[in-house]
Amino acid sequence: MTLPEKLMNLTKTAALASLLACATSALAQDGTIYPLDAPAEPNAIALGTGGVANQPAKESWFRQWGEPMVRNVTTATLTPFLPDPAKANGTAVIVAPGGGFRWLSINNEGWKIAKALNDRGIAAFVLKYRLQPTPDTLEGLKQSMNQMFAPPAPAPAGAPAVEAPRPPSPDLSNQLQDAEAAYAMIVSRAREWNVDPKRIGMVGFSAGAGLTMHCTLHSKTMKFAFIAPIYGGMGRVDVPKDAPPLFVAIAANDFLFRGEFGLIRSWFLAGRPVEFHLYQDGGHGFGMGYPGHPTYWWFEPFTHWLDVNGFLKARAGE
């Protein structure tokens, strides 16, 4: 075979490999659920908060939209992501991924967020909290997802328009215990992890945003320096008199928004610090953001807000 022929074959092989990679990526990004082996989590620390009642299925993983997801979590863990000591500023964040309390988008709304926070000198701790049971098979999971996100049935012709009833709030006692155990662990190991116990915040996404708010409103043991529920519920709440500064980001076309500003108004009327970013579009579950959407830039305003509030400055005496 001549050199030009060899080069031609190499070019064809590279082109085929590229096409296969693109096809695989497209399959991974189409919303189909694929099985996934459990990844290694060498730094995950069990929180010892117990299991989940009536949970027959074991923890398992799947991939959707190109992202790893975990479900049927019965053992809560905390995974530390620590910044370069030369950058560390003492601020820490508990990161709570979302997934309707049935699964966790643990990379898109957990590990990626933690690594981005590390770049700003912040110690991040991804909370893998206990979840509600889902069917053992992927087909059963898919059916339960379809039921969960199914739109309400249309009203009969001529019937008056009424707001669809909202599902009851889930029992978050397990998740609250997990978050409190995570907070207590961070405080107890603050010196080891170079964390200022007075500068611990919480960032949550979707269901994780709901957990962040639940912890803020109901915990007797956690006192956050700041909170950031990202694309969570926007309804009115009763704000504690010592509520932490609040940062909220959500897209106008997110199904959780519904034109509500109750959460923002509640914080404002309580006289507590609040910053709110309503993006033109971006949908739900954007994590760190996707190119081509305004939400792609939400993390920059968030870290600027942290900076303005003094959480990116080095601890006093360092």
Three-state secondary-structure class, residue 68: strand
Give residue 161's pLDDT: 47
DSSP structure class, residue 281: S
What does each C-alpha distance from 209 to 174, 203, 284 come to in angstroms? 16, 7, 12
pTM to 2 decimal places = 0.86
Q: What is the spatial distance between Cα 116 and Cα 113, in angstroms, rounded to a whole number?
A: 5
Give residue 20's pLDDT: 32
Percent of the chain, pLDDT > 70? 83
Average pLDDT estimate for 67-75:
97
Contacts of 220 (CB under 8 A, 6+ apart): none
| Residue ranges of domains in the chain | 43-135+171-308
Give residue 245's pLDDT: 98
Average pLDDT estimate for 167-176:
84
The correct CATH number of 43-135+171-308 out of 3.50.50.60, 3.30.499.10, 3.40.50.1820, 3.40.50.300 is 3.40.50.1820
Check: CB of residue 299 under 8 Å from CB of residue 289. yes
Q: How far is CA 36 from the centre of its chain?
A: 20
